[in-house]
Amino acid sequence: MTFVSFDPSTGRVLAHHACLSGAGLEQSLARAHAATEDWQNVAPAERAALLFRLASTLSAGRERLARELCLETGSLLADCLQEVARCAEECAHFAAHGQAMLPSARSQLSQRPLGLMLALTAGPAPLWQCFRVLVPALMAGNGLLLKPAEHLSGLVAVLARLMTEAGVPEGLVTPLRISKEQVAGLVADSRIGGLAYSGERRGGAAMAALAGARLKPVRLELARASVQLILDDAELAPAVESVLNDGFRYRASWRQSEGGVLITPGLAEPFLELLTARLEQLRPGRPDDMGVELGPLAKSGQREWLERQLREAERQGGRIRCGGYLPDDEDGWYYPATLIEGSEPAMTLFPAWPAGPLCGVLRVPDEAAMLALCRALSPDGMASIWTRDRARGERLARALPFDLCRVNPDPYHDRHWPPLSDPAQRPALKEFCRAKTVLISA
């Protein structure tokens, strides 16, 4: 098997990378297991020192790393710069505070590392997805095997270089190019003590099934529903900006997810007119150009698939207000910013929001209809509610099934940050440990 790294802005092949052989994987696994056993006995202060070095390495190479990321992922350079900075911040945070999160060595209840962990990442902001697991895992005393998404085979070399430059012990963090069959073999291996996965829900279900069959702990971070609910009395401009940030950053070119915009009749037409005008202003181009607002899709075939989905929505009665066509230019995997609207879910592809620069706006008669549609979605999602009446917004938020509901959020807050990077959502170190109790009789 061979992994191919592409430049989404041109469709050009960047490199071919061979899948790791069975013998090579066993060698990497043995080295990683040995390095992890040594790392478990390293003092927390030394683990913190390593994370400080990683933070410094990331900060020093921020520009180079960001350009390497945007060249392979198609994400905008501004977003990739923020992603690298956020990874460095995460390293520095756990280096500074991680020791206080761990019980003292003399405590009867202690947190022991899981051991060697296998982490699979398949979501947007791939460097961040790796570091979100890597940093607390290292601070807790674990080692890590990292498998990025298959179309990001170039990221493996970037991660390996980062670990070398930061002085990470050989084998402690091992990026891999391996097949799905090899992943299943690793999960079954007794040297793997824990698993982590970030990405689509289908992949998470498969990983959970593999972990459950071996009774191994697994940490899942899955794509979640994100819905914008716009009521008749909403303030128009911030609602439009929120929809742009929610639908056209990161996930726009990465994955299908649950989401869309639900709007009641009174504001529908002025909202659609303003959103259409804003989308038509978005400047497409190479993602490493700081003036560009719309980059290419991340993977080959995505735009053809998006095109088929839109044609089906049109057949169901959907109306395309802007975009919605396959470009004639064969150079790169670009698709124009697209807005489709309608009065039935199938007309706007709701709730399966396809990967791509797309926004679907579904006209609904009232808040009761909003609630009925949202109750069919994943409860671990989020909703943004737009209304000038805060009490009305709060009532709707409390009735919705989602874990996170925001009423009139700042549409510009953290607009360039990678997904799931709110410091308040940092994982606890105990998620990367197992509890051990020592009781001594008198």
Alpha carbon distance 233, 61 (integer Å): 47
Asked whether 123 and 254 are in contact (CB, 8 A), the reply is: yes
d(CA 121, CA 145): 11
- Tens-digit pLDDT string for the chain (442 aa): 888 888 888 888 888 999 999 999 999 999 999 999 999 999 999 999 999 999 999 999 999 999 999 989 888 998 899 999 999 999 999 999 998 888 765 667 778 899 999 999 987 889 999 999 999 999 999 999 999 988 898 999 999 999 999 999 999 999 999 998 999 999 999 999 999 999 888 889 999 999 999 999 999 988 888 899 999 999 999 999 999 887 776 655 556 678 899 999 999 999 999 999 999 998 888 999 988 888 898 888 888 889 999 999 999 999 999 999 988 876 888 999 999 999 999 999 998 878 888 999 999 999 999 999 999 888 888 899 999 999 999 999 999 999 989 999 887 665 556 777 778 788 889 899 988 888 777 6
Three-state DSSP state, 321: strand
Q: Are residues 379 and 276 in the same domain?
A: yes
pLDDT 10s digits, 407-433: 998 876 655 567 777 787 888 898 999
C-alpha span between 261 and 234 (Å, rounded) = 13
Domain boundary among 187, 207, 223: 223
Asked if residue 438 is part of any domain, the answer here is no
Nearest to 401 by CA among 379, 383, 384: 379
Which of 223, 255, 287 corresponds to the end of one domain? 223
Among all chains, which residue has been given the structure tokens 């990292």?
146
| Tally of CA atoms within 13 A in the half-sphere of 74 that contains its CB | 35
- In a domain? residue 177: yes
Question: Looking at 174, 197, 223, which one is the last position of a domain?
Answer: 223
Q: Are residues 238 and 153 in the same domain?
A: no
Residue 110 is given by DSSP the state E
Residues 42 and 174 in one domain: yes
Q: Are 89 and 31 in contact (CB under 8 A)?
A: no
Residues 231 and 265 placed together within one structural domain of the fold: yes
**In the chain, how many domains are there?**
2
Burial 357-371 (b: 16+ CB within 10 A, else e): bbbbbbbbeebeebb
C-alpha 404/C-alpha 166 separation (Å) is: 37
Range of the domain at 214: 2-223
Q: Does residue 117 sit in the same domain as residue 141? A: yes
**CA gap 295, 127 in Å, rounded:** 18
Are 193 and 60 in a shared domain? yes
Same domain, yes or no: 361 and 393: yes
Residue type, 306: L
What does DSSP say about strands 433-437 and 109-113: parallel, antiparallel, or unpaired? antiparallel
Q: Is residue 102 part of a domain?
A: yes
Q: How far apart are the first and last CA of the chain?
A: 61
The verdict on 376 and 280 lying in the same domain is yes
The answer to the question of residue 120 being in a domain is yes
Residues 253 and 205 in one domain: no
CATH number at residue 352: 3.40.309.10
- My answer on whether 393 and 334 are in the same domain is yes
pLDDT (0 to 100) of residue 303: 87
Q: Are residues 62 and 44 in the same domain?
A: yes
pLDDT recorded at residue 39:
97
Q: Are residues 263 and 287 in the same domain?
A: yes
Confirm whether 291 is domain-assigned. yes
